[in-house]
Chain A
Amino acid sequence: MPWKDFYTTSDEIGIRDAAIQWPEGQSMALGLTVNLNPAGAGKRITAKDLAYPTWHYGLKEGLDRFLELFDQLGIRATEVLTRVTGQAPKGWFALSRPDDRAATGCATDDTVSLLKARGYAYIGNGLADDAPYYWVTDPAKSESLLALPYYYHFDDTFFLMFPREGIGLERPQALLSNWRAEFRAQYRRGRYGRRNRRALASGASRRDDAEPRAKHLARLRRQPELSPWTAKTFWTA
């Protein structure tokens, strides 16, 4: 078979549950990613996006609330930056914007090779596995880039203020149910879980029921069937 040839990005069979080993005897890895982009349209960031009140909210109270919660829970998250100052990032995300016609990101034919050439250590939204895997860029030279799993069913972008605030859908319960169901399944398998959150959406308080959405995370943490929850984020930049 003309392996790859615009069909596949990785090998024929993914890593099996039994073959996965996490450091320090941990049962599974859970990645938490905070996406700090203005979540505008599927175009470049504009001055108008940056003047947008909800973006302002996300960078202030939304993000603060996340950080406070993560502190309380003793977890570390990866923040997805749209512009880098200072240290070079190790990872790169090609996440979808709410109005993109697919929920799987915008990697092009060249993205992964370019990342590889620029020294990135991983791409953050691999969709061909739910454990970390290698995205092959050149099978002849055995060149590949680490891909961390992403699936839009665990990304708040598609559940809160979707596709746009004010006209959109608000379905926190479906998001929480997906997180819980996947966590249960992956914990049993000893595999990997990933939640993606936007500071501007999940960080927001709901005025109507006075319950911060960020508390969903705390609620997930408190589920009796999920304790003892010892997951850590191994892939923080």
Chain B
Amino acid sequence: MMTSQPSPDAFDALVRTAQFQRTRRIQIPDFAYPEGVKLAVNFTLDFDAMLLRRLLNEPWGQKAKGEFGGRVGVWRIMEMFDAEDVKVTLFTPGRICELYPEVLRAVIQNGHELGNHMWEHEVYADPVIEDAHLTRTLKALSAIQGGPVTGTRSSHTPGLLRSKGVVYNSFTSAHDLPFYELDAQGENPILQLPFHYALDDAMYFSFGWLDTPNAAQRVMDVDEVFDIWWAAFEQQYKAGGYVNFLLHPFVSGHAMRVDIIQRLIQRIKTLPGVWFPTCDTLAQHILTHHPLPEAQ
């Protein structure tokens, strides 16, 4: 069967869309880190424990797999970060403040950051519900943090996020370096601290991740993943870029994985000029030194 050609009007509309989409992601000219820093490495932990498994109505084994992250994994991985003196950001659903308050208080005491990760790992289409969830989550997190929450990892509406004081999101991989992103109407710019799925632990280690079928499963061993992550880091290090490792306490809190992440950090530290800030620390540097150019 022949594929029909789009009409000239439809083609023009596609061209206009492509042009608009390109303008939505604004790279930062002459991007620079603080003096002496060659690149920043963010370790970001999505502390969602069993919430997504529960949302999808999965059996108890699945929920318990997530529960490991809250009662064992998060403690263990945070102890390792503290031993390495690396500050991290935990993107945390509001409900976790009720399930695991003690570890969150310990995390704040040790100088780490809490960011928003939805109420129960879901953004609802109804704007009233979305607002209520975001408000409730920010309130719960900032009560523990003892100060405002400035970041999110979510598909929350950018305009709503800005109205609540959220200044950055870490939810896209459109560029290697941090950049500003406009919403679908070309408004409400928000700073994006990009992650990449190649640096997401769950992709390598979690069975059936993102609904992949059984025949597609490759439960990886830690050494394979260490090599992939080291290569990704090295490439960005040479380029003076940015690295954001996305970890889940229920995945990377397992003993063998805490060990490879520690090994990775120790190897990274052998190179000069690597900065391990929280996402908020990095965001404040960018907002201060590289605000969005006016003429957009």
Chain A interfacial positions (CB closer than 8 Å to B): 1, 6-14, 16, 94, 96, 98-99, 101-109, 111-112, 125-130, 135, 151-153, 158-159, 162-163, 167-169, 171, 173-175, 177-178, 181-182, 184-186, 189, 191
Closest Cβ of chain B to A203, distance in Å, is 21
Within the complex, which residue of B54, B64, B75 is in contact with A128, where a contact is CB–CB below 8 Å? Answer: B64
Closest Cβ of chain B to A160, distance in Å, is 12
Contact indicator A109/B60 (Cβ below 8 Å): yes
Chain B interfacial positions (CB closer than 8 Å to A): 50-51, 54, 58-65, 67-68, 70-72, 75, 95, 98-100, 102-103, 205, 207-208, 214-215, 217-224, 254-256, 258-260
Closest Cβ of chain A to B224, distance in Å, is 7
Contact indicator A153/B219 (Cβ below 8 Å): yes
Contact indicator B260/A94 (Cβ below 8 Å): no
- Could you say which of A125, A181, A191 has the most chain B C-beta atoms within 10 Å of its C-beta? A181
Within the complex, which residue of B68, B100, B207 is in contact with A102, where a contact is CB–CB below 8 Å? Answer: B207
Give the docked Cα–Cα distance between A178 and B254 (Å).
11
- Could you say which of B75, B207, B218, B224 has the most chain A C-beta atoms within 10 Å of its C-beta? B207
Within the complex, which residue of A13, A177, A189 is in contact with B255, where a contact is CB–CB below 8 Å? Answer: A189
Closest Cβ of chain B to A109, distance in Å, is 7
Contact indicator A7/B54 (Cβ below 8 Å): yes
Contacts A174-B224, A181-B223 given; does A12 touch B99 at CB 8 Å = yes
B98: chain A residues at CB < 8 Å are 1
Closest Cβ of chain A to B275, distance in Å, is 28
Give the docked Cα–Cα distance between A198 and B26 (Å).
54
Give the docked Cα–Cα distance between A98 and B219 (Å).
13
- 16 contacts across the A-B interface (CB closer than 8 A): A1-B99, A8-B50, A9-B63, A9-B64, A10-B71, A12-B99, A12-B100, A102-B208, A104-B61, A104-B207, A107-B61, A153-B254, A162-B217, A169-B218, A177-B223, A185-B255
Within the complex, which residue of B64, B67, B102, B259 is in contact with A184, where a contact is CB–CB below 8 Å? Answer: B259
Contact indicator A158/B255 (Cβ below 8 Å): no
- Could you say which of A102, A107, A125 has the most chain B C-beta atoms within 10 Å of its C-beta? A102
Main secondary structure of the interface of B (DSSP, over half): helix
Within the complex, which residue of A11, A94, A169, A182 is in contact with B254, where a contact is CB–CB below 8 Å? Answer: A182
5 closest A-B pairs by CB: A104-B61, A185-B255, A177-B221, A1-B98, A181-B256
Contact indicator B215/A163 (Cβ below 8 Å): yes
Give the docked Cα–Cα distance between A6 and B223 (Å).
35
Give the docked Cα–Cα distance between A16 and B284 (Å).
36
Contact indicator A182/B256 (Cβ below 8 Å): yes
Contact indicator B59/A104 (Cβ below 8 Å): yes
With CB as the reference atom, state the residue of chain B lying closest to A133. Answer: B71
Contact indicator B61/A106 (Cβ below 8 Å): yes
Give the docked Cα–Cα distance between A153 and B100 (Å).
26
Give the docked Cα–Cα distance between A129 and B65 (Å).
8
Give the docked Cα–Cα distance between A182 and B253 (Å).
12
B68: chain A residues at CB < 8 Å are 127-130
- Could you say which of B205, B207, B221 has the most chain A C-beta atoms within 10 Å of its C-beta? B221
Within the complex, which residue of A106, A130, A181 is in contact with B221, where a contact is CB–CB below 8 Å? Answer: A181
B260: chain A residues at CB < 8 Å are 181
- Could you say which of B99, B103, B258 has the most chain A C-beta atoms within 10 Å of its C-beta? B99
Within the complex, which residue of B61, B102, B258 is in contact with A13, where a contact is CB–CB below 8 Å? Answer: B102
B223: chain A residues at CB < 8 Å are 177, 181
Closest Cβ of chain B to A225, distance in Å, is 13
A173: chain B residues at CB < 8 Å are 221
Contact indicator B63/A129 (Cβ below 8 Å): no
Within the complex, which residue of B50, B219, B255 is in contact with A152, where a contact is CB–CB below 8 Å? Answer: B219
Contact indicator A103/B71 (Cβ below 8 Å): no
Closest Cβ of chain B to A143, distance in Å, is 16
A126: chain B residues at CB < 8 Å are 64
Contacts A13-B103, A108-B59, A163-B214 given; does A129 touch B71 at CB 8 Å = yes
Contact indicator A107/B59 (Cβ below 8 Å): yes
